[in-house]
Amino acid sequence: MGVIVLTHRWLGIAFCLLFATWFASGIVMHFVPFPSLTDAERFAGLAPLARGAPFVPVVDAVAASGIGDATRVRLLQRSDGPVYIVSAPSGVRAVHASDGAGASVESPDLALAIARNHARGRGLDAARAAVLARADHDQWSVPNGFDGHRPLFRVALGDAAGTEIYVSSRTGEVVLDTTRSERGWNWVGSVLHWIYPTVLRSNWALWDRVVWTLSLLALIAALLGAVLGIIRIRRRGGLIGSPYRGWHALHHFIGLVSTVFVLTWIFSGWLSMDHGRLFSRGQLTPAEAALINASPDWKTVPPVDGRPSIARDVEWFAFNGNLYRRERVGLDRQILVRPNGEEQEGLTAQEVGALMARLATGCSTPLALAENDDYPAQSVIARSPVYRARCGDVWFDIDSADGSILQRLDASRRAYRWFYRALHTLDFPVLMAHPRLRDVLVIGLCALGLVFSITGIVIGWRRLGLSF
C-alpha cells in the first residue's frame, strides 16, 4: 500500500498540471479544430481551366515528372498557367501543361501571385498580401500530411481576419490557411493538448515516443488514484465518507464521482498515440497496395483538347486496371468519364465489386454507407456514396468519386474506433444524432476533470511546500 501511495503522490505532483491542461484544452478543441484548408475553401480558390493552347499529352507529363510509379495525374489552373500534378506513393511533382517543364515554385513572387489568386477566388482581401517565410515547418504546418509539399511559402494577406495562406513549393497548390482567431485558440487548444511545439512535433518519431510515454505515466497515476480512492472510502451512518479533510477530501470525492470518465478519457487519449503498438493501423497489406496502387498504362489516356471547360480540377486515375477521368465542376458535383467515354457521377457498386473480387476472397456485394454508420467515412464529393465491401473479417470503404480506399477495417481497427474515438470524443452515434447534448456532456465532463485536476495541483503545491 505504501508503494501505491508514494507512486500516486509523486506521479500526481508531476502530472497534475498536465491533467489540467488536457481537460481545459479538450474543451477548446471540441469547438476549434486544428487549422486546415477545407475542401470548400480549396475548391473556391481554384480557377477554371483555361484551354486556349494545346497541352502536352498526359503520358508525356508523367514521363517529364520522372515519377515511374505514378497512380494519379491532376490538371489545375495556376497563376502562371495550367500544370499537371503527378502523384504516386513515392512522391509528387508538378510540370507545366504547355511544355512539360518542371513547375515547382522557387520564386516568392510566384508564390505570392498564387496566394493572391486563391484569396480572390474566395472573396478575401489580398491587397496587402506579402510572403512572410519559406520554411519546412512552423507551428501550423507540422502535420505529416504536408511532407510532400515542403518547404512551404507562408503568405500573410494582411486582411482584417489575419489570414495566412501556405503554398506548396513542390506543386504550387494552396495546402493550408489559418486565421488570427484559429491560431490564438489553438495555442490554448491543440498545441497544449497534443504537446505540439514545433521543435518537438517536427520530429515525428521523437514526439510520438515522448507523448506516448507521458500519457502512459499519466494513465498509471490515474489508475493508482482510482484504487486508493476506492480503498479509502469510509461509511458513516449509511453514507459514503472520506478519511481526509479540506482539499484532500474534495480531491477524494470529485475523484470518486469522475473516476470512470477520467480513466476512460486518459486511457483513450493514450490510445490516440497507439500507432500500431496495440491495434492495427488500418493500412493495406503489401499485396493489397500493389493491386490498388498499380501504375496504369498512361499511353491510353486521350490527349487534352483545347475546348473551353467549366471544370476547376481534372484528375486521371486507375481503378481496377481501367483509367478514368473526373472533372470537378462544383463543390458537390463532378463528371466521371469511363474508359469507353460514357459519363457518370461516380463509380458504380458493380465496378467497386469487380475490384474487390480481385483484392480479396469472399467479399460481399458493396453497399453504400448510411450517414449514421458506426464506422463513418466521407467522400471527397459531399453527395457521392461511399461503398463498403465486407471481405470476411476485413472491410474496405471505397470512395465512388475518385476510387480511393478510405478505410481498411479489420477487427482490431473496428475495436480501436470505440476504444479511442468514441471514448475520447464521445462520437457515439446516439450522441452524434443530438449534437447539443454531446456538447453539454463534453463541456461538463471536461470541466469536472479540470476541477479535479485543480484540487490535485493545490495538494501537490502544498506537498512540495512541506518537502522543500
Sheet-wide strand order for 152-156: 130-135, 152-156, 164-168, 174-178
Answer yes or no: is 186 within a domain. no
Identify whether residues 260 and 372 lie together within a single domain.
no
Answer yes or no: is 49 within a domain. yes
Identify whether residues 174 and 58 lie together within a single domain.
yes
Positive or negative CA dihedral for 195, 201, 204, 209? negative
Identify whether residues 395 and 350 lie together within a single domain.
yes
Helix locations, 143-245, DSSP H:
180-187, 190-193, 198-201, 204-231
Answer yes or no: is 420 within a domain. no
Domain that holds residue 388: 286-409
Residues 274 and 416: beta-carbon distance below 8 Å: yes
Q: Which of 379, 409, 439 is the last residue of a domain?
A: 409
Identify whether residues 133 and 228 lie together within a single domain.
no
Those residues whose C-beta lies under 8 Å from the C-beta of residue 24, and which sit 6 or more positions away, are: 188, 192, 446, 450
Identify whether residues 267 and 292 lie together within a single domain.
no
Identify whether residues 300 and 207 lie together within a single domain.
no
The total number of structural domains in the chain stands at 3
Identify whether residues 299 and 268 lie together within a single domain.
no
Between CA 28 and CA 453 the distance in angstroms is: 17
Answer yes or no: is 188 within a domain. no
Identify whether residues 64 and 133 lie together within a single domain.
yes
pLDDT at 468: 38
Q: Over the stretch 167-224, which tens digit does the pLDDT of each residue have?
A: 999 999 999 999 999 999 999 999 999 999 999 999 999 999 999 999 999 999 999 9
Identify whether residues 70 and 95 lie together within a single domain.
yes
Q: Over the stretch 243-269, which tens digit does the pLDDT of each residue have?
A: 889 999 999 999 999 999 999 999 999
Q: Which three cell numbers stand for residue 183?
A: 491560431
Answer yes or no: is 392 within a domain. yes
Identify whether residues 308 and 398 lie together within a single domain.
yes
Answer yes or no: is 421 within a domain. no
In 3-state terms the chain splits into helix, strand, coil percentages (rounded to 5) of: 45, 20, 35
Answer yes or no: is 451 within a domain. yes
Residues 98 and 90: beta-carbon distance below 8 Å: no
pLDDT at 51: 74
Q: Which of 151, 181, 211 is the last residue of a domain?
A: 181
pLDDT at 220: 97
Identify whether residues 294 and 314 lie together within a single domain.
yes
Q: Which of 130, 157, 181 is the last residue of a domain?
A: 181
Identify whether residues 18 and 62 lie together within a single domain.
no
Answer yes or no: is 414 within a domain. no
Between CA 403 and CA 352 the distance in angstroms is: 8
Q: Three-state DSSP class for 78?
A: strand
Between CA 53 and CA 40 the distance in angstroms is: 29
Low-confidence ranges of the chain (pLDDT < 70): 237-238, 305-308, 466-468
